[in-house]
Amino acid sequence: MLETVVAVVEQSAGGQDPWTLGTARDLYDLPFNDLIYRSHTFHRANFDANSVQLSKLLNIKTGGCPEDCGYCSQSAHHASGLTASKLMKLDDVVSEALKAKESGATRYCMGAAWRSPKPRDEPAIVEMVKAVKSLGLETCMTLGMLSPQQAETFADAGLDYYNHNIDTSERFYPEVITSRTFDDRLETLAHVREAGIKVCSGGILGMGESVDDRIDMLVTLANLPVPPESVPINMLIPMPGSRLANAGPVDPIEFIRIIALARLMMPASSVRLTAGRTAMSDEMQALCFFAGANSIFIGDTLLTAANPGNDRDSSLLSRLGLRPTSVEMQGEL
């Protein structure tokens, strides 16, 4: 069976055939050792297997978001106790970006709790992109939905990446979010791609979805006209006051299988081990890296959630013999 599945995988990964849920599920269901061996082989063929790209994420505007995403503490629909803030000042953003660079980050991501940016906010966002880029960092923004004109504006400012996760499968999506549709998400991704900005899009595991929902999320991403250059895989952090505050934990082996599947289905994309790492053992993270994850967020916080912190990450990477990706190496990948 392995030989048959691998042949189908190579055809799909090579762009010859679109991915189907059945094909991807067959791959997911392989014996764990076969799946991880194959994903690691694909990883080595496309990346330095002993290098991990470091990013830092800053909340440039916190809380008060009108969206009803069930997992988010920043939604105005949830009694999370989070106080809404105004957009950060440029000097403060640059100061934090400098700290991130000194910590080894090569990409700086800025997020605002909006449904979409208002015209009055666009000039400030443009200045942030330009200022952070001038520090020698890659820039990424996550601001909600974008119109074609907004995507063009941020592209002209030099924005490198735009993050807009599809979160889950199209089937399960309405169980998590009702204030915008799955197609709305895909439309923004199309606007970003058409503007020439690199796409960062992935999802969240642990919201009550099935294994097929997780796999179908990857099928959607892999079958985009151009797969995302960056694919964040988050493990839900149940946030107090949110609709998913009492969600149960994700099985570690199932999580690692999704990391491996993402690597196989999108071999040239960076697979980002994102939220939820505080609940992961070092051994679980090590297996994720072996399976194909090659990017993490550093720092003590990830938007409003806890993150392992630089000391724990440095210790783990050192124990595993992994080194941060340099700006020069990043440009070669």
Task: Enumerate the active-site residues.
Answer: 65, 69, 72, 109, 140, 200, 272
Which residues touch 88 (CB under 8 Å, ≥6 apart)? 58, 60, 61
Token pair of 10 as six digits: 């190579």
In three-state form (DSSP H/G/I as H, E/B as E, the rest C), the secondary structure along the chain is CHHHHHHHHHHHHCCCCCCCHHHHHHHHCCCHHHHHHHHHHHHHHHCCCCEEEEEEEEEEECCCECCCCCCCCCECCCCCCCCCCCCCCHHHHHHHHHHHHHCCCCEEEEEECCCCCCHHHHHHHHHHHHHHHCCCCEEEEECCCCCHHHHHHHHHCCCCEEECCCECCCCCHHHCCCCCCHHHHHHHHHHHHHHCCEEECCEEECCCCCHHHHHHHHHHHHCCCCCCCEEEEEECCCCCCCCCCCCCCCCHHHHHHHHHHHHHHCCCCEEEECCCHHHCCHHHHHHHHHHCEEEEECCCEECCEECCCHHHHHHHHHHHCCEECCHHHHHHC
Buried b (16+ CB within 10 A) or exposed e, 152-179: bbbbebebbbbbbbbbbbbebbeebbee
The residue with tokens 């151009």 is 226
